Amino acid sequence: MRALKDSQSTIDTERPVVDKDPATGKDFQADKATSSFYQLLRHEVSTGNPNLSERQQRMLQSHYPVMMAPERFPEDLVTAIYTSRRSPIVDAIRRDREAVVFDAGCGYGSESFLFAASGARVLAVDRSADQIVIAKKRQRFFEEALGQTFDIEFRPADLNVYSPESNNLSLTWLASVLAVVPDQEGLLRRVHRATRTDGEIMITDMNLLNPLFLFREWRRRRWFIEQSPEFRRHANFFEMVRRHERRGARYFKTTDGDDVDDVQFFRPGTLAELLRTTGFSPAPASYSGFIPPIPVGRHEPLERLFARIPLIRKFGYFYFMRAQKTRPVTEFFV
């Protein structure tokens, strides 16, 4: 990555730490910027990116079923959930003139565009070479729409073994990814090594404390049990929920030779424990996804209300957790 190797040359030292919105002159608001990016993303996914082939467009659209079914998933609800999970990282990027973000498991690259548009240099990695090709082809659309040039390096790599070359990451973003990695602790230790002191990791995914998600995951596994004797022998739903004697995701074969996954999801408690083990200091989680997608009324105020109610908030469909790489104790004595 050009900018990672030559970090000083591309830093905009003129940019103030807290930005002004050029349109209003008011302080930059991460939630507004994030929800406005979401509208652009939704437009690109649903109407088509001219730089993608039809097959690539279909692959992208299948990654975003919620965007493709607005009659089932009300726009204000989906926007509120998208925004609440991403605005903390947009805010963190805007407060750091030298933000270097590792988008780990970047998929089709959508969040990399959001981070780059917010001012970060981005290293974006995914195991799927096809998705990396599509991410690269999508970039021009967002650069043209936003009138910016992005500093993103997209790279195919397996997070189970990959170590970022930089030791200067300010932020790592893991959205719906950590659960599918076999060696979760190893990945977090490698990220920790590559992160600056006071840098952060931000993780968001579905919450094992949410009864609907828990039921869906249980049902998905019932089906796998029928398909794969190996899965039936080794996978144990309750051990996954407790994270008992587990390192991460496991993969088994069906009798037809297809893959089935024994994904290791998290409750905020088990994730916080793993983060502490790997040298991070987690902050309390926040949550979203409380309201069922009923296509009547306004959802955002209710979402915000539930997110604040003690105890109930812990059962949101999604969690978001951030954790800091704290200064090593010895540095205090230097």
Ligand X SMILES: C[S@@+](CC[C@H](N)C(=O)[O-])C[C@H]1O[C@@H](n2cnc3c(N)ncnc32)[C@H](O)[C@@H]1O
Residues at the contact surface with ligand X, assessed by CB under 6 A: 105-107, 110, 126-128, 131, 158-160, 175-177, 180-181
Nearest distance in Å: CB 103, ligand X: 7
Q: In whole angstroms, how far apart are CA 123 and each of 103, 150, 183? A: 6, 11, 21
Closer Cβ to ligand X, 78 or 181, answer by number:
181
CB 200 within 8 A of CB 194: no
Distance separating alpha carbons of residues 268 and 274, to the nearest angstrom: 10
Contacts of 158 (CB under 8 A, 6+ apart): 127
Shortest distance, position 175 Cβ to ligand X, whole Å: 4
DSSP states of 85-147 as a string? HHHHHHHHHHT-TT-EEEEET-TTSHHHHHHHHTT-EEEEEES-HHHHHHHHHHHHHHHHHHT
H helix runs in the chain, sequence order: 2-5, 30-47, 54-63, 65-68, 75-94, 110-117, 129-146, 184-194, 211-227, 229-234, 237-242, 268-277, 300-306
Where do we find the tokens 């729409």?
A: 145
Rg (CA), the chain: 20
Q: Within a 13 Å sphere around the CA of 215, how many CA atoms are in the beta-carbon half?
A: 4
* Residue 73 exposed, middle or buried by CB count within 10 Å (0-12, 13-18, 19+): middle
We find the least distance from the C-beta atom of residue 83 to ligand X, in angstroms, to be: 14
For ligand X, the closer of residues 28 and 271 by Cβ is: 271
In the complex, minimum distance from the CB of residue 224 to ligand X, in angstroms, rounded to a whole number: 18
Residue nearer to ligand X on the CB measure, 28 or 319: 319
User: Closer to ligand X at the Cβ: 28 or 56?
Assistant: 56
State how far the Cα of 213 lies from the Cα of 219, in Å rounded to an integer: 10
Name the minimum Å distance from CB 104 to ligand X: 7
With CB atoms as reference, the residue minimizing the distance to ligand X is 107
Least separation in angstroms between residue 108's CB and ligand X is 7
Toward ligand X, which CB reaches closer, 97 or 250?
250
Nearer to ligand X among residue 206 and residue 323 (C-beta): 206
Instruction: Compute the least distance from the CB of residue 12 to ligand X, in Å.
Output: 27
When the beta carbons of 91 and 205 are compared against ligand X, the nearer one is 205
Smaller CB separation from ligand X, 28 or 177 = 177
In the complex, minimum distance from the CB of residue 126 to ligand X, in angstroms, rounded to a whole number: 5
Distances (CA, A) of 233 to 57, 227, 236: 39, 12, 8
